[in-house]
Amino acid sequence: MNQTRKRGREQYAAVANQVNNVPDVYGIKRRALEKRIRNDILHDNNDHDEFDDLELPAIISDTVATAQYLIDKLSFTEKTKHTDTTKRLPRVCFLHQIYSILSDNTAVDRELQEAINEGTWRKFYILGTLEDEFAIMNTTDYLSTIHDAKNEFIVDEEKNQDNNKKKTTIVTADLFDRFKDFVLDKKHNDVSVSQKSEGFTFNDKEISCLIKYGLVLPQMQNTDTYWFAIRRQGVFMSHYLKGRIEILRILKKRPTHDIFEKQLAAKKLRSIFRYEFILHDLVGSGRAERLNELSDIFLDTKRPWVI
């Protein structure tokens, strides 16, 4: 058994050395080693039981890791992250913010689509943004917003009963459970859905209720098609655009229209978002550019005032 383990360790070292000089950007090295480990364990009949509970770490893509980093670490300032306002805002970032961090946009699109197909992330179009400015959100966080909408609906119904108001629509709280099941169906992982879609069983009154509680939005050009919506996206975008405008104005006021990041970090901004979060927005969307990655200079471009 000791000889088997020694031989196994030598094999693992050989595999690692073969790809040691290749950056493990997509986890290729880790997957190769995990596959070798699994195969050796499965064929090790002498001491198989001791590995029955072995759990290898889940592999996430660079795109998913970057999105989670933007949302968890770079979104809100320390001063505002624990306030009631920010706690109610959706946990999202924009796809173009990831572009500003990862240079291979094609790989980003592919990895994001894989995560969407797996059902772990979702992509949204937010009204008032450009056509290519998609927001992305972890599916778990999105399901939490559906749960919040259900709770808000229940509270509103109880208030109506207390005020002896007549119920005008025959809608029950199970609507939100049905909508949650609909969202979890991987067939409906696009940014919009049509009334003709398979499994779309919501009547007009139920759709009106989903619109009221911010879970879907009607498309103006297609009357039978709806955007999957993020609750409180209007409040989010209001703060987001204020942060964007604030930094663009700082750039505009400077004679050379550029600034060192250290100087920008030292300024007391009024935005609830961290300046890094807004910078990744400006650079990723082309509203500003990084002149030199080593010196961290940002410059406004020809279209800086497309807010």
- Model confidence pLDDT, tens digit, residues 261-281: 889 989 989 999 999 999 999
6 domain residue, yes or no:
yes
Give pLDDT, residue 223.
81
**CB–CB of 187/213 below 8 Å?**
no
Compute the Cα dihedral for 197, 203, 206, 211 and give only its sign. positive
Q: Which of 231, 253, 268 is the last residue of a domain?
A: 231
Same domain, 252 and 292: yes
Same domain, 249 and 307: yes
What are 100-134's pLDDT values in tens digits? 999 899 999 999 999 999 999 999 999 878 878 89
Instruction: Tell me the residue range of the domain where 170 lies.
Output: 119-231
111 domain residue, yes or no:
no
Q: Which of 215, 231, 247 is the last residue of a domain?
A: 231
Q: Which of 86, 95, 100 is nearest to 129 (CA)?
A: 95
* pLDDT for 81 beyond 70: yes
Give 247-271 as a DSSP string.
HHHHHHHSTTSEEEHHHHHHS----
Same domain, 124 and 224: yes
* Mean pLDDT estimate for the chain: 82
Same domain, 28 and 124: no
Q: What is the mean pLDDT of residues 230-245?
A: 94
65 domain residue, yes or no:
no
Q: Which of 275, 285, 281 is nearest to 76 (CA)?
A: 275
Same domain, 132 and 34: no
Which amino acid makes up residue 213?
A: Y
**CB–CB of 277/261 below 8 Å?**
no
- Residue where the block lists tokens 């103006």: 220
* pLDDT for 233 beyond 80: yes
Can you tell me the distance from the alpha carbon of 17 to that of 35, in angstroms, rounded to the nearest whole number? 16
Give pLDDT, residue 138.
96
Same domain, 144 and 189: yes
Q: What is the mean pLDDT of residues 278-307?
A: 72
Give pLDDT, residue 231.
94
Q: Which of 231, 262, 278 is the last residue of a domain?
A: 231
Same domain, 10 and 153: no
235 CB-near residues (< 8 Å, 6+ apart): 85, 88, 89
DSSP state of 273: B
DSSP state of 272: S
* pLDDT for 18 beyond 90: no
Q: Give 121 or 18, the one with higher predicted confidence.
A: 121
Residue 27 banded pLDDT, cuts 50, 70, 90: low
Same domain, 40 and 144: no
Q: What is the mean pLDDT of residues 51-70?
A: 76
Give pLDDT, residue 127.
83
Burial (0-12, 13-18, 19+ Cβ within 10 Å), 107: middle
Tokens of 196: 């003709």
Cα separations in angstroms, 13 against 9, 16, 25, 29, 166: 6, 5, 20, 12, 73
Same domain, 243 and 161: no
What are 194-224's pLDDT values in tens digits? 988 888 999 999 999 999 999 999 988 888 8
Same domain, 150 and 77: no
Neighbour tally for 158: CB within 10 Å: 10
282 domain residue, yes or no:
yes
62 domain residue, yes or no:
no
130 domain residue, yes or no:
yes
Give pLDDT, residue 21.
46
DSSP state of 51: G
Can you tell me the distance from the alpha carbon of 192 to that of 219, in angstroms, rounded to the nearest whole number? 9
Same domain, 241 and 198: no
In the sheet with 121-125, reading across from the earlier edge strand, the strands are 93-94, 134-138, 121-125
Q: What is the mean pLDDT of residues 60-84?
A: 92
66 domain residue, yes or no:
no
Give pLDDT, residue 43.
56
Question: Hey, which of 128-132, 190-194, 253-257, 293-297 has the most confident mean pLDDT?
Answer: 190-194
Give pLDDT, residue 30.
58
Which pTM was predicted? 0.76
Q: Which of 239, 284, 276, 288 is nearest to 70 (CA)?
A: 276
Same domain, 124 and 217: yes
Instruction: Give the chain's domain count.
Output: 3
Cα separations in angstroms, 40 against 18, 20, 234: 19, 21, 54
59 domain residue, yes or no:
no
